[in-house]
Amino acid sequence: MYHAVGTQAYGDTLGLFSISEDKFRRQMTLLSEWRYGQIVDFSEDSLKHSGTSVAITFDDGYQDNLEVAAPILINLGIPFTVFISSGFIKNSTQGFLTPSSLRT
């Protein structure tokens, strides 16, 4: 469960919900080489997997999820899910996905 990648998460004064782009890339590269389980999405077929499973998720819908994290994950072939906070989008809160970026 990630929040912000390469930027500081909203209100994260302790740095608990933010990760640098480099550290995220290293974690995902290691995970892509993992041979003891499966990286899953939330499709019905993936959820039927009986072994060890990991799902990559993002909370809140930061813009960096699209601009920083998505290219890394797509390049490595890792599925992921972004859970958005509609209030941030509705209020056009800076640093969060916009209606246009959601379509992307």
Q: Residues 53-70: pLDDT tens digits?
A: 889 999 999 999 999 999
Mind listing the domains of the chain with CATH numbers?
A: 4-96 (3.20.20.370)
**How far apart (Å, rounded) are the C-alpha atoms in residues 20 and 41?**
23
Neighbours of 33 (CB within 10 A): 8
Tell me the residue ranges of DSSP E strands in 2-103.
4-5, 18-19, 38-40, 53-60, 80-84
Q: Residues 18-43: pLDDT tens digits?
A: 999 999 999 999 999 988 878 888 77
Entry pTM: 0.89
pLDDT value for 48 = 75
pLDDT value for 52 = 82
pLDDT at 76 over 80: yes
